[in-house]
Amino acid sequence: NAGVMQNPRHLVRRRGQEARLRCSPVKGHSHVYWYRQLPEEGLKFMVYLQKENIIDESGMPKERFSAEFPKEGPSILRIQQVVRGDSAAYFCASSRVLLGQRSGNTIYFGEGSWLTVV
């Protein structure tokens, strides 16, 4: 987990509000991923970004969710008009290079941001 910084660690929002989750990758990592873990489930892929580009957003809900990774600053996962079902742990991860079968590298996860919608 070394180096991937997520904030806030815990966030409480009322239904209909917006939630913004921030992620600073490991220094030197240009690949960022967001995963969501619902209660009693495994982690589910949401989106993969490189600087200023969304590479794969196949796991993102079509509405209310968006992600960005600007040239400067952290990656942001934004959830608009939150609903109770959005309550989950959101994990950001980063890697230096694209995960490959021969490189032996991996992606490193942050500590997570726990969103509670009341």
Partner 1 sequence: DQQVKQNSPSLSVQEGRISILNCDYTNSMFDYFLWYKKYPAEGPTFLISISSIKDKNEDGRFTVFLNKSAKHLSLHIVPSQPGDSAVYFCAARGETSGSRLTFGEGTQLTVNP
For partner 1, the binding residues (CB under 8 A) are: 1, 4, 6, 31, 33, 35, 40-45, 48, 55-56, 58-59, 91, 93, 95, 98-102, 104, 106-112, 114
Q: How far is the CB of 81 from partner 1 (least distance, A)?
A: 26
CA distance 68 to 51: 8
The structure tokens 């230096």 sit at 96
Rounded to a whole number of angstroms, the minimum distance from the CB of residue 9 to partner 1 is 8
Token pair belonging to 34:
């967001």
Phi–psi pair at 53, nearest 5 degrees: -135, 140
Q: Is the CB of 3 or the CB of 16 nearer to partner 1?
A: 3
